[in-house]
A and B are shown apart, each in its own frame.
Chain A
């Protein structure tokens, strides 16, 4: 990667525009009525504009992580991760914030779709980048896998049945993509195709697994609906940490 302000400017603009649109959408009610989407994540819905304050504002972590990724991409030395992919990853991590906040702030159906879409984008990126390195392909393979991942998730997400542990089919598709990315990354490490700082990969995996444990505990047992300290909010913060460490792992490859 070359030094330059491009990544931080693009990610900053993405953050400003997406968060601005979210504020407008919540204020003007563009996302539709409250249908209780995301109400299963413990926090009690308030009467104000922001239905679930803790679960909404904890998404700032994603915006911060995305901007941190962009800043690192702006100043880091050259590596295998090309600059425009680092910038794209920074923007996708930034979008996780307003996407998830759209659901928790409004509990609307459209907010729920934005939340799921932002998750699909990041998971598809992880799979596409791993597949590109595993198969030795170029940008075309990356784009094809990325679009295929999103399409797969959207199709699976159409099924309205309940899935054990992860609740919905969309979550199951998201989890499947993350597991696929993890398996491919482990295979790449075993193949020793490139040198990278593995501690970042382990830190990302540890943060994600801890977050998933808290996600389950907060949904099923450890719940105080009226507290501003929510397990699901901790899930958001830990996922942001995992995304940042995943980027650092990618960026450390030589």
Chain B
């Protein structure tokens, strides 16, 4: 495989065109031109943004503002927050969402779906 086809390249016996050599050349280019510095900044910024966004999106799920809940729903909100921190809780959330979708489309929601015990 060559990225550039030319008659001059075909006559040149010294220029290496194998894929492995091209990958090595790319790595050398990134290293010697200090392009790695730009990549590093990009990785740091994207990671920081993703962490902040994930944390912000799930914040109220993990830490529900209990003072804004009616007294009779607080215990349930706390239980759901605890449940959301478990892997089983995640699967339960998926099932509950499915159950909500069933109700939205007029389909009778199943009890195992609602309590997170049915098969996914």
Instruction: Give the B-binding residues of A (Cβ under 8 A).
Output: 42, 44-47, 214, 217-218, 221-227, 229, 231, 234
Report if B62 contacts A (CB, 8 A).
Answer: yes
Q: Which residues from chain B contact A217 at a C-beta distance below 8 Å?
A: 55
| Contact across chains for B57 and A224 when beta carbons are under 8 A apart | yes
| Contact across chains for B90 and A222 when beta carbons are under 8 A apart | no
Contact residues of B between 23 and 71, Cβ < 8 Å to A: 47, 50-52, 54-59, 62-63
A-B contact pairs, 8 of them (CB 8 A): A44-B85, A44-B89, A217-B55, A218-B55, A221-B59, A223-B58, A224-B55, A234-B47
- Give B56's nearest chain A residue, CB to CB: A222
Instruction: Give the A-binding residues of B (Cβ under 8 A).
Output: 47, 50-52, 54-59, 62-63, 84-87, 89-90
Q: A44-B85, A44-B86, A44-B89 are in contact. Are A225 and B55 (CB under 8 A)?
A: no
Measured in the bound complex, the distance between the Cα atoms of B58 and A234 in whole Å is 18
Candidates B63, B84, B87; contact of A45 at CB < 8 Å: B87
Q: Which residues from chain A contact B50 at a C-beta distance below 8 Å?
A: 229
| Contact across chains for A234 and B90 when beta carbons are under 8 A apart | no
Candidates A44, A45, A214, A224; contact of B54 at CB < 8 Å: A224
Measured in the bound complex, the distance between the Cα atoms of B59 and A229 in whole Å is 15
Measured in the bound complex, the distance between the Cα atoms of B56 and A229 in whole Å is 14
Report A62 CB to chain B, min CB distance, Å. Answer: 18
- 6 smallest CB-CB distances across A and B, nearest first, come from A222-B55, A224-B54, A224-B58, A44-B87, A226-B90, A225-B85
Report B58 CB to chain A, min CB distance, Å. Answer: 4
- Give A226's nearest chain B residue, CB to CB: B90
Q: Which residues from chain A contact B87 at a C-beta distance below 8 Å?
A: 44-47, 226
Q: A221-B59, A223-B62, A224-B58 are in contact. Are A231 and B85 (CB under 8 A)?
A: no
Q: Which residues from chain B contact A214 at a C-beta distance below 8 Å?
A: 51
Report A230 CB to chain B, min CB distance, Å. Answer: 8
Q: Which residues from chain A contact B55 at a C-beta distance below 8 Å?
A: 217-218, 221-224, 231
| Contact across chains for A225 and B47 when beta carbons are under 8 A apart | no
Q: Which residues from chain B contact A218 at a C-beta distance below 8 Å?
A: 51, 55
| Contact across chains for B89 and A222 when beta carbons are under 8 A apart | no
Q: Which residues from chain B contact A45 at a C-beta distance below 8 Å?
A: 86-87
| Contact across chains for B90 and A229 when beta carbons are under 8 A apart | no
Measured in the bound complex, the distance between the Cα atoms of B85 and A229 in whole Å is 15
Report A26 CB to chain B, min CB distance, Å. Answer: 17
| Contact across chains for A222 and B52 when beta carbons are under 8 A apart | yes
Q: Which residues from chain B contact A225 at a C-beta distance below 8 Å?
A: 58, 62, 84-86, 90
